[in-house]
Amino acid sequence: MQTIEIMEKTFDSESNDIALYLAMSKKAEDEGQTEIATYLFNVAMDEAAHAAQFATLLGKVKDTRTNLVTMLDGEIRAEKDKAHAVKVAFAEGNQEVSRFFEKSMHDETRHKEGIKKILSKLQEKD
């Protein structure tokens, strides 16, 4: 049981590290430190591989149809949450963040539509 708890925590921290390393890689690139940027990017990919393996070991990955249905729910939720966040950030005067919430909301919409399309294509095959 303790192992599972540690695996869940590890999955979360590895997932967190992917984003941090990617952001830091981008920063290094902006500073013209291309070698460091590449190194940080590669570390991010290692962390992604670790997180993916823990996701699998934890049983978070099912058959493809089930995975897509699960992620569709997540994308629908993410889209709604972002739409709310756009308004909150705007009301608090944080235009830059509000705009980025809006951009990422559109990405979530695109993810949602893409998954829906794949699911309906899978349905046609049945």
| DSSP secondary structure, 98-117, as one string | HHHHHHHHHHHHHHHHHHHH
Give dist(CA 41, CA 29) in Å, integer.
Answer: 10
Token readout for 27 is: 């920063």
Q: Beta-carbon neighbour count of residue 66 at 10 Å?
A: 10
Does the footprint of Fe ion cover residue 111 (CB under 5 A)?
yes
- Minimum Å distance from CB 93 to Fe ion? 27
Query: Taking the complex as a whole, how short is the minimal distance between the CB of residue 20 and Fe ion, in angstroms?
Result: 12
Taking residue 3's Cβ as centre, other Cβ atoms within 10 Å add up to 8
Residue 30, SS3? helix
By the rule CB under 5 A, 116 interacts with Fe ion: no
* Residue closer to Fe ion (CB basis): 75 or 98: 75
> Going residue by residue from 65 to 104, which x/- string records binding to Fe ion, judged by CB under 5 A?
----------x-----------------------------
Residue 50 interacts with Fe ion (CB under 5 A)? yes
The nearer residue to Fe ion, 12 or 31, going by C-beta atoms, is 12
Residues that bind Fe ion (CB under 5 A): 14, 47, 50, 75, 108, 111
